[in-house]
Amino acid sequence: MVRCADCGCFSGRSCDPNIAEPLEVGRPLRQKWDVIKDGKQLIQKTPLCCISRRSFENELGNKPDAIIRSDDVVILIQKDIGPCSGFEEYESGRTPRMILDMIDQKENQQFQDEQRDKERRWQAEQSLVADKRQDERDERQRQWQEQRDERDREQRILDRAEKRTDRKWNLLVGVVVALVGAGAVISGAILQYFIGPSSPAK
């Protein structure tokens, strides 16, 4: 059961208009809400939730403080209000200001944790982007290297083909030269045979 009477956020308002700080309300006052003692009003009759989870002013009909009945306040703060995200178990000596400071610290810590989580996620995303870009560069480099290797292979094939062609032509030229030379020798021999040796000049 969740009751405002058991919550540290349940606070009192000072009767001094210059004091806005929410005041701690002790256990005896939480039970009876007897805010007037020895003819002196200790705090305002309309209580306060220091984290604004509940508006006692609205629930009490926005009545002037002077006509608020203590019994009506007791009924409000003693009834079960169901789940409340701001509930803080009351501890004597832990003032509403301490609770507010604790809540601020928690919120700041939560904000810092969220920022760190965002930073880690951003760094992870950037790392993935960088890895993807590097993979793309590596793939382009691999394709370029394969194309270059293919061109080099084709060029080597062409070079070998040209060398074979050159050797064939050189061989052909050598054969032709040899045949021409042999033909010349044979022709000379035939002419020498038929014509005979030339007579020496007298």
DSSP string, the chain: ---GGGBTTEEE-BSSTT--S-EE--HHHHHH---EETTEE-B-SS-EETT-S--HHHHTTT--GGG--HHHHHHHHHS-----TT--B--TT--HHHHHHHHHHHHHHHHHHHHHHHHHHHHHHHHHHHHHHHHHHHHHHHHHHHHHHHHHHHHHHHHHHHHHHHHHHHHHHHHHHHHHHHHHHHHHHHHHHHH-SPPPP-
Residue 189 has pLDDT above 80, yes or no: no
User: Do residues 87 and 29 both lie within one domain?
Assistant: yes
Range of the domain at 63: 4-94
pLDDT in the model for residue 55: 93
Domain annotation covers residue 99: yes
Please tell me whether residues 90 and 100 are part of one structural domain: no
Which of 191 and 4 is assigned the larger pLDDT? 4
Query: Are residue 69 and residue 132 in the same domain, yes or no?
Result: no
The total domain count for the chain is: 2
183 within domain boundaries: no
* pLDDT of amino acid 199: 53
Are 85 and 117 members of one domain?
Answer: no
Answer whether residue 189 is part of any domain. no
**Does residue 79 sit within a domain?**
yes
The pLDDT confidence band at residue 187, using thresholds 50, 70 and 90, is confident
| For residues 116-128, average pLDDT | 94
pLDDT (mean) for 132-156: 92
Residue 51 is assigned to a structural domain of this protein = yes
Instruction: Say if 149 falls within a structural domain.
Output: yes
**Mean of pLDDT over the chain:** 89
Residues 158 and 81 placed together within one structural domain of the fold: no
100 burial class (0-12, 13-18, 19+ CB within 10 angstroms)?
Answer: middle
Domain co-membership, 29 together with 104: no
The terminus-to-terminus CA distance of the chain in angstroms comes to 157
Residue 9 lies in a domain: yes
Same domain assignment for residues 8 and 82: yes
* Residue 202 located in a structural domain: no
Overall pTM > 0.85: no
Considering the domain architecture, whether residues 45 and 70 belong to the same structural domain is answered as yes
Task: Examine the domain organization and report whether 82 and 99 are in the same domain.
Answer: no
Domain check: are 22 and 86 in the same one?
yes
pLDDT of residue 166: 82
Same domain, 79 and 133: no
**Residue 102 pLDDT class (50, 70, 90 cuts):** very high
